[in-house]
Structure 1
């Protein structure tokens, strides 16, 4: 009788200890990590649609350049222009619009990638494999556009993305602000000069392979975001609902 009572007491006590340990584990180890992962995914969703759209718009522009570069009315002349030619801000809305907007589209993709790398890639996700896969995809994009035949460089692509971040926010500056800085800020214009030189040589039908590889990588990023339900394939109607689009 005494032995049975003793076993019961020890059993209850032991069960209580186990329950206590489980509770502590859930409260201080599992729950915080789960919450961190949820917070990380929220931030991932915050950037996913703008990145998808930026990739889509750049893909469309690069395809258009490749398709029309040989046409008499194609973009060849426009891509040879430079902000150095601007005598007023009006230049950026007229003859300089095409080359400026192309430079902006490239920089915008680099910018969203920079924001991802700053705020998302190293956050604690439950599925580490997805994080790693996405990291390699964005690295592949930078490698493609800064290939050995390009006059852009891997870390320069990082730089044009970093410089486009609207300081104190989590999004790029607008194209109008980009144009204004190119016109007013000599240091800013000087930093992006290499990108405009790249576009000038694209107009001379150089770097076709670079553009084609870049397009392939843009598509891969979009497909990754769609496949993993981080973003959705958007229609024209949804574009207007995206902040900073």
Structure 2
């Protein structure tokens, strides 16, 4: 299945579930990722977002909804699918949409964001989701040709403070600017109420990860509540 920009309409006002586990965790296994993704789809996820080439491959086999793939390489700076090489590998693994760092920061391969998006276009059929951290990032990502804009990196660059929950202010600013591309809310959405708030603030779709697919974090929230 090739996902077209027009095909994104099926994700409007829908939930996207991020299925990821961190290195060293018991659930850090591509087969488990695929199973978690399939479970999320049963619950109503219209698409899933997964990290790692093998995870993309296993998830493509496990679900029939669009798969947003990425490849985290490193921990600081630009590390979400940081280069064109990473992006093409994610696309070749089967991702319908490749999520890349969509900030204006220098990239490890010295390509511009526009060159990276153009390279993905030239070598694959995948759409591009730009993970942004500010309004200026979003504008630049649209100009670079990205198909979707995510608020994934809000609070993780030096342009905006990190909010306790989702950065609804940034979301509303981008959505209200009429940039012509779907704006996906992502980052620190931990409750159904916050997901609804993101949609009401103008999100085209909402990504929820930790609160659905990361048992260690969820358990910690409950434990802290009991202790405090």
Q: Same fold per TM (> 0.5)?
A: no
Question: Which structure: larger Rg?
Answer: 1
* TM-score with structure 2 setting the length: 0.25
Is the strand fraction higher in 1 or 2? 2
Specify which structure has the bigger relative contact order, considering alpha-carbon pairs within 8 angstroms and separated by 6 or more residues: 1
Task: Please state which structure has a larger fraction of its residues in helix.
Answer: 1
